[in-house]
Amino acid sequence: MRVEQTRQYPLCAQAFLNRLTSQAFYEERFRLLGVEDYRFQRCEQTPEGFVVHIVRRMEVDLSRIPAFARGFIGSTAELSTEFVWQNEGEAPYLGRYYVSMAGAPAKIEGQVVLNALGDSACEQEVALTIHCSVPLVGKKLAALLAKRVEVVLEEDYQATLRLLKAHP
């Protein structure tokens, strides 16, 4: 199952990449989203690129999950999100994206591309693939997860815009 979105941001690609590779940026964004239970595994330059790896513990609202999927998901989950940014040179900048949830039979992989739109704006293209290893209901579970991913991406986009407005 694929999820693709394109968003625009009111700053140049290099400046936005600098934010996306800053621990302080994520800390402030999590504060805006009301997320408290998280930790950074890595936030550093490596030979593979700039790695941002965040693990967060979250409550899962099982009432929003169809009965067929509840057996695969607990009431709490540990979500691991990792970006590896190719941050050398000029835009476009490519980020590889990985998300997994401990104990869940699904993972998300994809890429994020930051394109320059002049000196004061950029475009972010997100293309994610959701993989589910459960026979028979895997496609249904992936479709359910895709809907949730779209909501989370929108919430993240809105929080990022608020943060950029508050701290230009």
pTM comes to: 0.85
For the stretch 36-74, pLDDT in tens is 999 999 999 999 999 999 999 877 665 666 666 656 666
Residue 128 — φ and ψ, nearest 5°? -120, 145
Q: Is the pLDDT of residue 129 over 80?
A: yes
H helices, E strands: number in the chain: 4, 7
Q: What is the CATH number of the domain that holds 71?
A: 3.30.530.20
Structural domain total, the chain: 1
Q: Is the pLDDT of residue 130 over 70?
A: yes
Closest by CA to 97, choosing from 57, 133, 122, 126, is 126
- Distance CA(21)–CA(82), nearest Å, equals 11
- Distance CA(94)–CA(87), nearest Å, equals 8
Host domain of residue 6:
2-166
For the stretch 71-110, pLDDT in tens is 666 666 788 999 999 988 999 999 999 999 887 788 999 9
The neighbour count for residue 13, using CB atoms within 10 Å, is 23
